[in-house]
Chains A and B, each alone.
Chain A
């Protein structure tokens, strides 16, 4: 990094390092969303977008109801943040730069691209996703050299991954081919 300034992206990322308690708290809530999804026969993936200790987005997969295969939990939650910004008359760019994503399963390649494009600084996820994972499993979109695709972001993986895998496994029993293939990661 170059000279220090208030806009140094490294500084802003570091200030979004949540405490273990915060991670525990928000991930638990993300799991609640995933369990809700499972009850409704949806892929058990849940996520939260947390800005300034406030939940601005709460997403689960909406592929089936919209017939749009891109309506992953993360995309749904990102839209909610955008809506909030519109209602509150806030600049979404500034808000996204200080928003952490908590999600039970590793974001796919598409969602990782979207998170980059919106300058999300940090992602905390549960289990890996061998089938589509864009944060280390199939590709590493947040770290790759993509100067025209937003900004790189950090991610913390393997949080409560066993629980996330269990959720997906119980969904697998219904043999849905659209579900992400789980992978336990402890790193």
Chain B
């Protein structure tokens, strides 16, 4: 994805050095895949609706329902203003090389009256329904399709999902993660930092850095933060007392909270309905580096709401190697955005 900064006003870029780009699913970000089909000109316009009906009964075009059967002919000077998809190439038996392709070889004469149809020709049509506006625009160059636009994705792709005000806050949270990473580095640990934020109250609930240099090789910054949130909710499995920069804010009693403690048997749905804070439901994570597969799945289990990361990583699981946040079959999905430039550059920018 090209940097959005170029398109923004220079002044805006100077004050907000982040370029926030969504990490979309493969389906949303792939180029148009094409499929071969036979189309034919409609010579007699009056036959159009009958032809479409009969063609649809013989060749219903399974799997490509997004394709519009008839298109207005591109060439305005054409004698035939309309063209229709007859069938997909994969729908018909491969024809003998000696026989010329003709409308009669494609259509069983008993079921389709081919009056009004011209001779068929090969076209390439989009194989999948477009999910984003760029995909829709690309697909339309080949053959018209329907498009159910997700406005949020369109806005996100234009780099306009967040207001300047929101970006200032996002900047503050990412900088808190950068600060934690630097603190970890001072202790000789890997420079990865993270914060978990409640976007409702705009409070940082947990701050952590990579702690693998200690006793537990699984204490990646994300895992540390998840446990710190649990500690803030009266749970938790570890103590990070050795690391003053790994800390949590205890939940102050909110109006929704009755006892402040959820019973051990309470299940997720109940908890969500009753507004009792439950694991990371509704929270955002800011992390300086793209999480690994363990951490990414830990975020699914924790029901995180959104993840913002700085640098990508080689085995990253939120865009690079996997896209766990949009992985099919998983029961929780979340939004992910990359915040560029890299934290190191940002530090320099801001400290200069």
Contacts and interface: CB of A to CB of B under 8 A. Distances in A.
A70 B215 CA distance: 18
B324 A109 contact: yes
B264 A65 contact: yes
**When A and B form their complex, which 7 residue pairs have the shortest distance between CB atoms, in order from nearest?**
A67-B235, A113-B294, A110-B297, A68-B230, A69-B301, A109-B297, A113-B293
Contacts of A78: 218
Given A68-B235, A113-B292, A145-B321, 12 more contacts: A66-B227, A66-B237, A70-B223, A70-B301, A92-B217, A109-B300, A111-B294, A113-B293, A138-B330, A139-B327, A146-B315, A149-B315
A66 B293 contact: no
A110 B324 CA distance: 10
Most buried by B among A70, A86, A147, A178: A70
B262 A69 contact: no
B265 interface: yes
Interface of A: 41, 62, 64-71, 75, 78-79, 82, 86, 92, 108-114, 116-118, 130-132, 134, 138-139, 141, 144-149, 176-178
B340 interface: no
B226 interface: yes
Interface of B: 215-218, 223, 226-227, 230, 233-237, 262, 264-265, 267-269, 278-280, 292-298, 300-303, 313-315, 317, 321-322, 324, 327, 329-331
Nearest to B293: A113
A106 B311 CA distance: 32
A66 to B, nearest CB: 5
A115 to B, nearest CB: 9
Determine the main DSSP class of B at the interface with A. Answer: loop
Contacts of B317: 113
Nearest to B265: A41
Given A41-B265, A109-B293, A117-B294, A68 B330 contact: no
Question: Interface majority SS on A: helix, strand, loop or mixed?
Answer: loop
8 contacts: A68-B237, A69-B226, A69-B298, A70-B298, A113-B317, A138-B327, A146-B321, A147-B315
A131 to B, nearest CB: 6
Contacts of A139: 293, 322, 327
Contacts of A147: 314-315
Contact of B294 (A69, A71, A114, A178): A114
Contacts of A110: 293-295, 297-298, 300-301
Given A108-B297, A109-B293, A134-B297, A69 B303 contact: yes
A29 B5 CA distance: 58
A79 B218 CA distance: 9
Contacts of B235: 65-68
A68 B267 contact: no
Most buried by B among A67, A108, A149: A67
Given A62-B237, A117-B218, A68 B226 contact: yes
Contacts of B293: 109-110, 112-113, 116, 134, 139, 141, 146, 149
Contacts of B329: 130-131, 138
A65 B268 CA distance: 14
A69 B302 contact: yes
- Interface hub of A62, A64, A144 (most chain B Cβ within 10 A): A64
Contact of B218 (A65, A69, A118, A145): A118
A149 B292 contact: yes
Nearest to B270: A177
A41 B279 CA distance: 20
B279 A67 contact: yes
A108 B316 CA distance: 17
Given A68-B226, A147-B315, A118 B297 contact: no
Nearest to A78: B218
A134 B265 CA distance: 26
A132 B330 contact: yes
Contacts of A82: 215-217
A56 to B, nearest CB: 15
Contacts of B315: 146-149
Nearest to A65: B264
A86 B215 contact: yes
A67 B321 contact: no
B257 to A, nearest CB: 14
B279 A68 contact: yes
A28 to B, nearest CB: 28
Contacts of B234: 67
A108 B295 CA distance: 12
A155 to B, nearest CB: 16
A119 to B, nearest CB: 10
Contacts of B280: 69
Nearest to B232: A67
Contacts of B264: 64-65
